[in-house]
Amino acid sequence: MDLDQKIKESLMIKSEWNGSVTKMWNNISNELQPKKPWWQRQQFWFSTVTAAIAILILFLQTNKPTSPLQPIAEPESTQEQLLNGLPKVATFRTMLVEEPLEVRPSGEIDLHLNYWPTLETEEFKEMTLSVLHIEETSGSESLVKVISLNEGTIDVNETFAVIAPDKAGTYRLVIEGNLEINQTVHTIHASKLIKVLNEEGR
């Protein structure tokens, strides 16, 4: 064997490679693939932080002090709702300074009647007209007389005519009682402050 042949064989032996071409290409192709941006890469720490926050919220909700249960208010009946509105109006009226109506002795006065459904717990009272005299110095009231009224003569949609006392002075006329209207018992009330003048008109 000549020298050139020996050199060729020697080079072939030294250059033999026992590796896999497929594995080598896979390694190279992985390196050639473009890398994803940092915000698209899966980050393990993000999932861990999210789980920790969820556990913290659950813990706070579990240990949150509960407020005592408030009693549920029972709904008012229709009658109670109507009556609850009346004292407010009456209170507002009493806050105003009521000026007495000046009338002649035995003069006629028209009273406006207020009415509302009577509660079942209230006793039925007959219709009456009360005349109370008011002392000018002390403001105290004293009952002069009580007159029973005929229910057939009372119409809540109209004013009720009352005759003033024949003596001079300050009086309060009060109509009150119960009356059946459209098969329902109602409470009737009316009040008027009057001043009966003397013969000189004072």
108 within a domain of the structure (yes/no): yes
153 within a domain of the structure (yes/no): yes
Per-residue pLDDT at 198: 85
Q: Which H or E run includes 167?
A: none
Class of residue 173 by CB neighbours under 10 A (exposed 0-12, middle 13-18, buried 19+): buried
5 within a domain of the structure (yes/no): no
List the beta bridge partners of residue 161.
Answer: 110
> Domain tally for the chain?
1
pLDDT digits (tens, 9 = 90+) for 85-141: 544 444 444 445 779 999 999 999 999 999 999 998 889 999 999 999 998 788 889
123-147 b/e with 16+ CB inside 10 Å = b? Answer: eeeebebbbbbbeeeeeeeeeeeee
152 within a domain of the structure (yes/no): yes
- Stated pTM of the model: 0.51
Q: 160-163 and 101-103: which strand pairing? A: unpaired
Which range marks the domain in which residue 159 is found?
100-196
Of the listed ranges 40-49, 87-96, 146-155, 190-199, the least confidently predicted one is: 87-96
Per-residue pLDDT at 93: 47
